Amino acid sequence: MKDKITFKSYCWSVGTTSYRTQKFNLNIERQLALLKEFREFNNRFDWSRETQIDYYNFLKENEFVKGNAKRPDKDARQKTSGLVDIGLLDEKRNLTEAGDRLLKISQTKSFEDDNILELSQDSYIFFKQLLKTSNEVNGNIVRPFVVFLYIINKVKYLTKDEFRYLLPLCINENLTKYILKQMILSRRNEITYDEIIISIFMDMDNYKQALELFLKGTVTEKLMSVISINRKSSKNENIYYKIYM
């Protein structure tokens, strides 16, 4: 038996689910200002664990976050990872040219809609950055916002559940065409979202291997650990065994 079956993503994502906030664009612009101020006080800025903890405490001092995070370094990474994804920061949390431009617009309140789409200046930057944003998913380069525009052009609208559960499954041309067909079927109540999601990941080699092992093997804690395909910690995988038993 294999000791581990490798996790492979079957969907794209932008940022993390941990950064939920009201007035999203305004908070992004405020964080860019805070990050630039924080860097000015830290000449040797290396985005290490210690720096991340200091940054979290700096955000707390400036009332950008509340409470006491159990892992402030992780919280600091979560607060900034989405800004890296959309190209406003680089991996070392330096402001990029786009991030610096957005900050200047925010600080000078230059929100005129003098562009081809008649968007406010900050929204126009967000729009252009989202167009460029890409994910690498199993060897495929995916541009989520471009995929969204393509899908919405085909089906005219997306429900919240279609946006949350089906759109991120479009990681290549074939799957995008497949999702479009399944989306139409789901609107006719001919298939459920669960069935669509399962059909996609059960077509992947690692899940096929897991199912084959599960069906032919004796159910043990080790087997459950192998087929759980846990991409993070495996310390709680015995819970699956207990639930199954």
Residue 88: which pLDDT band, with cuts at 50, 70 and 90? very high
SS3 136: strand
**Regarding predicted confidence, which is higher, 70 or 15?**
70
Pairwise CA distance, residues 132 & 32, whole Å: 19
Q: Any idea what the Cα angle at residue 119 is, between residues 115 and 122, rounded to 5°?
A: 100
Instruction: At 144, list the tokens.
Output: 């989520």
Of the chain, the percentage scoring pLDDT greater than 70 comes to 92
Looking at the structure, do residues 90 and 170 belong to the same domain, yes or no?
no
Q: Do residues 16 and 82 lie in contact, with contact meaning Cβ atoms separated by under 8 Å?
A: yes
Write out pLDDT tens, residues 25-42: 888 999 999 999 998 887
92-114 mean pLDDT: 91
Q: Are residues 118 and 165 in the same domain?
A: no
Same domain, 35 and 120: yes
The C-alpha atoms of residue 101 and residue 212 are separated, in whole angstroms, by 53
- Kindly state whether residue 31 falls inside one of the protein's structural domains: yes
List the domain range (segments joined by +) for residue 91.
Answer: 24-130
pTM, whole model, 2 decimals?
0.77
| Residue closest to 106 by CA, chosen among 205, 201, 23, 197 | 23
- Structural domains of the chain, count: 3
pLDDT tens across 187-198, in order? 999 999 999 999
CA distance 191 to 185: 6
75 lies in a domain?
yes
Within a domain: residue 7?
A: no
Question: Is 10 within the bounds of a domain?
Answer: no
**In the chain, how long is the greatest CA-to-CA distance?**
67
Number of H helices, E strands in the chain: 12, 2
